[in-house]
């Protein structure tokens, strides 16, 4: 790759390294012939740019290839954009990472990087698991190939395939044995059982059998045997007194019932006195006293893995020490206090389809006019529904009953705009007011753009990242801006405050610093149908 200052006259096809003030040309823009004309017109004589050479792999292609190589089961990949591809959890469960091979990839070359969550973290669907970033605009083919080889090579630690994957939680049948000493209140055992039931429920499992017995080896052995009749996947033993030795009552009772001890103690605090055993194929866990608290402790590390069918061996427990200090430390915020909503996640994008206009220049309601035998608005909405955006909200006004009837049976919500005669901005305002509170952004689609497919909307969504300064995503074709436009939630109030038929153009103009342009493969993002001639041209573009 060549990088440096290039005369504008020689810069066509080069990749812009820095934004150009006054022209809204952003870093990463591939300069077209029209761009060169615009730069010359702005008296720009040279630009800092990169030009790919033979053997270079462009940043997006390299990021996508590495993402595919490291991706394991239950993982989704975002569309690569500006050299970044993210991996997201497709199920709730335990995140598994082949740390050694991730390190090996990061050691190949400074141009290629991958960062992951902490191994064995509990992750939610759509939560980010890893991000791949190509640092320059391109990286050598040899670097990408070596990374792919590491990602796809066989590894005993990554038997599920890939380097990053999710072991989903599976429903487990749990038996609970609580031992008691003379004079111990039943209410204490009730409280312990309630906390454990909550832990199990949070992982999709349930306590199917509970029994209580004296804190004696023979009584514990008998209770373990009785519990096995209920076909548990897991047996938990809550001792009235902490286990202090392998010959203590709880481990001795497990052995007397035919079980075998696998490990006693763990380098996690709280949770040091956990006991791990097995009876046949059934895991038996002697609980530390801290398991009666709802706060996370060493037992959670073990329970989460067992409920996801992730093996927990003696060596696994011994490896839990790094990150195993869980006691409250006032100077350090506790990661366990983070809710799933606070963790990085794939943005939730809704879609607004504005279908309330008067079609004054057409002479008839263009949204109901047929294109290849199907009403235009039906084609537009079907295209939006083929994208990942949800929910899809259709704003109606003019001929609302007819449009809603045409769209009957589709997975959309309708919002009527009684003020549609006052301009497109009123429909935008009505649609924004109807958006759920949990959406991160919304793509605003015009009802007369049926040629914009779901893939185009997905590409806009892949570029969306307000934290990185991409809060407004605008499609372009040959450098010209079009529709639909994706807005971050933070800009909803400003977009809703517009007037007339300008839509949200004012908000875009006021926030050019967070506008990201995404070049599309065809001119569909520029086409509309305001006049009979434009309608005919649009119909000619649509093949079927």
pLDDT digit string (tens) for the chain, length 544 residues: 999 999 999 999 999 999 887 787 888 889 999 999 999 999 999 999 999 999 999 999 999 999 999 999 999 999 899 999 999 999 999 999 999 999 999 999 999 999 999 999 999 999 999 999 999 999 999 999 999 999 998 654 444 579 999 999 999 999 999 999 998 899 999 999 999 999 999 999 999 999 999 999 999 999 999 999 999 999 999 999 999 999 999 999 999 999 999 999 999 999 999 999 999 999 999 999 999 999 999 999 999 999 999 999 999 999 999 999 987 544 434 444 444 445 677 899 999 999 998 876 776 889 999 998 899 999 999 999 999 999 999 999 999 999 999 999 999 999 999 999 998 999 999 999 999 999 999 999 999 999 999 999 999 999 998 877 889 999 999 889 999 999 999 999 988 888 777 667 778 888 888 889 899 989 999 987 878 888 888 888 787 6
Task: Provide the sign of the torsion angle of the four alpha carbons 324, 328, 330, 332, taken in this order.
Answer: positive
For residues 178 and 253, give the distance between their C-alpha atoms in angstroms, rounded to a whole number. Answer: 13
* Domains of the chain listed by start with CATH number: 2-51 (3.90.105.10), 56-166 (3.90.1170), 173-328 (3.40.980.10), 349-541 (3.90.550.10)
CB 130 within 8 A of CB 72: no
If we measure between CA atoms, which residue out of 204, 217, 190 comes closest to residue 292?
A: 190
HSE, CB side, 13 Å, CA atoms: give it for residue 408. Answer: 5
- Position 531 scores a pLDDT of 81
**Interstrand relation of 2-7 and 515-519 (parallel, antiparallel or unpaired):** unpaired
- Position 503 scores a pLDDT of 66
- Report helix, strand or coil for 215: coil
For residues 472 and 26, give the distance between their C-alpha atoms in angstroms, rounded to a whole number. Answer: 13
Residue 119: phi and psi, rounded to 5, are: -55, 140
At 430, list the tokens. 């009505």
Name the percent of the chain lying above pLDDT 70.
95
CB 393 within 8 A of CB 352: yes
At 421, list the tokens. 């005669």
**Interstrand relation of 275-279 and 260-264 (parallel, antiparallel or unpaired):** antiparallel
Residue with tokens 């996370």: 296
Mark out the alpha helices in 366-476 (DSSP H runs).
376-385, 400-406, 424-433, 454-463
- Position 343 scores a pLDDT of 65
For residues 94 and 245, give the distance between their C-alpha atoms in angstroms, rounded to a whole number. Answer: 31
CB 45 within 8 A of CB 54: no
- Position 334 scores a pLDDT of 40
At 6, list the tokens. 């290039």
CB 204 within 8 A of CB 171: yes
For residues 408 and 394, give the distance between their C-alpha atoms in angstroms, rounded to a whole number. Answer: 12
Partner residues linked to 349 by β-bridges: 441
Task: Provide the sign of the torsion angle of the four alpha carbons 28, 33, 39, 43, taken in this order.
Answer: positive
For residues 138 and 141, give the distance between their C-alpha atoms in angstroms, rounded to a whole number. Answer: 9
If we measure between CA atoms, which residue out of 276, 369, 391, 267 comes closest to residue 325?
A: 267
If we measure between CA atoms, which residue out of 369, 531, 390, 389 comes closest to residue 450?
A: 369
The per-residue DSSP string of 39-81 comes to HHHTT--EEEEEE--TTEEEHHHHHHHHHHHHB-TTEEEPPPB
Please count the other Cβ atoms lying within 10 Å of the Cβ belonging to residue 273.
Answer: 22
Please count the other Cβ atoms lying within 10 Å of the Cβ belonging to residue 41.
Answer: 9
For the entire predicted model, the pTM comes to 0.81
For residues 140 and 111, give the distance between their C-alpha atoms in angstroms, rounded to a whole number. Answer: 9
- Position 314 scores a pLDDT of 97
∠ Cα 530 533 534 (to 5°) = 45
At 534, list the tokens. 């434009």
- Position 256 scores a pLDDT of 98
At 528, list the tokens. 């509309």
Please count the other Cβ atoms lying within 10 Å of the Cβ belonging to residue 63.
Answer: 30
- Report helix, strand or coil for 362: coil
- Position 357 scores a pLDDT of 87
CB 109 within 8 A of CB 143: yes
For residues 23 and 29, give the distance between their C-alpha atoms in angstroms, rounded to a whole number. Answer: 12
- Position 2 scores a pLDDT of 92
Element (H, E) at 183: none
CB 96 within 8 A of CB 186: no
- Position 85 scores a pLDDT of 95
CB 14 within 8 A of CB 5: no
- Position 537 scores a pLDDT of 83
For residues 290 and 155, give the distance between their C-alpha atoms in angstroms, rounded to a whole number. Answer: 36
DSSP code of 288?
P
At 336, list the tokens. 């366990």
CB 236 within 8 A of CB 177: yes
- Position 528 scores a pLDDT of 78
HSE, CB side, 13 Å, CA atoms: give it for residue 530. Answer: 5
Non-local (6+) Cβ contacts of 460 within 8 A are: 443, 473, 475, 484, 486, 518
Residue 164: phi and psi, rounded to 5, are: -135, 125
Q: State pLDDT tens for residues 240-251.
A: 999 999 999 999
Element (H, E) at 138: strand 138-140
């Amino acid at each position: 790759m060549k990088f440096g200052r290039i005369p504008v006259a020689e810069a066509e096809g080069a990749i812009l390294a820095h934004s150009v003030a006054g022209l809204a040309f952003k870093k990463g823009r591939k300069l077209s012939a029209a761009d060169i004309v615009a730069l010359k017109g702005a008296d720009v004589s040279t630009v800092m740019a990169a030009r790919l050479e033979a053997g270079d792999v462009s940043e997006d292609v390299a990021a996508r290839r590495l993402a595919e190589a490291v991706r394991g089961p239950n993982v989704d990949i975002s569309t690569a954009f500006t050299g970044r591809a993210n991996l997201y959890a497709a199920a709730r469960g335990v995140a598994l990472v082949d740390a050694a091979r991730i390190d090996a990839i990061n050691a190949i070359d400074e141009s290629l990087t991958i960062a992951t969550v902490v191994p064995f973290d509990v992750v939610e669907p759509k939560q980010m698991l890893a991000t791949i970033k190509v640092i320059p605009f391109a990286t050598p083919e040899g670097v990408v190939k070596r990374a792919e080889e590491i990602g796809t090579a066989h590894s005993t630690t990554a038997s599920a395939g890939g380097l990053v994957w999710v072991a989903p939680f599976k429903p487990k049948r749990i038996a609970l044995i609580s031992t008691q000493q003379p004079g111990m209140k039943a209410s204490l055992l009730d409280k312990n059982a309630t906390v454990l039931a909550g832990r199990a429920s949070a992982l999709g499992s349930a306590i199917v059998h509970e029994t209580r017995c004296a804190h004696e080896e023979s009584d514990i052995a008998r209770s373990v045997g009785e519990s096995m009749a209920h076909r548990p996947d897991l047996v938990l033993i809550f001792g009235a007194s902490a286990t202090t030795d392998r010959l203590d009552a709880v481990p001795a009772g497990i052995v007397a019932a035919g079980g075998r001890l696998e490990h006693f103690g763990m380098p996690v605090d709280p949770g040091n006195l956990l006991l791990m055993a097995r009876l046949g194929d059934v895991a038996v866990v002697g609980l530390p006293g801290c398991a009666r608290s709802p706060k996370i402790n060493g037992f959670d590390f073990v329970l989460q893995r067992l409920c996801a069918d992730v093996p927990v061996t003696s060596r696994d427990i011994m490896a839990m020490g790094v990150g195993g200090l869980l006691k409250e430390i006032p100077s350090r915020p506790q990661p366990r206090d983070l809710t799933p909503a606070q963790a990085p996640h794939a943005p939730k994008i809704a879609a607004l389809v504005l279908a309330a206009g008067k079609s004054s220049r057409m002479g008839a309601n263009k949204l109901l006019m047929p294109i290849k035998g199907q009403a235009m608005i039906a084609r537009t909405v079907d295209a939006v529904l083929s994208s990942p955006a949800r929910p899809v909200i259709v704003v109606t006004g003019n001929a609302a009953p007819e449009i809603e009837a045409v769209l009957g049976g589709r997975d959309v919500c309708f919002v009527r705009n009684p003020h549609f005669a006052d301009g497109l901005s009123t429909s935008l305002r009505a649609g924004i007011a109807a958006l759920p509170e949990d959406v991160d952004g919304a793509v605003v689609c015009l009802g007369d753009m049926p040629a914009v497919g779901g893939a185009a909307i997905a590409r806009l969504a892949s570029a969306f990242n307000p934290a990185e300064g991409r809060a407004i995503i605008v499609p372009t074709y040959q450098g010209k801006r079009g529709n639909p436009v994706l807005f971050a939630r933070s800009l909803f109030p400003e977009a809703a405050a517009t007037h007339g038929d300008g839509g949200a153009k004012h908000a875009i103009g006021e926030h050019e610093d967070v506008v990201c342009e995404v070049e599309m493969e065809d001119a569909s993002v520029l086409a509309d149908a305001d006049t009979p001639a434009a309608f005919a041209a649009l119909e000619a573009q649509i093949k079927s």
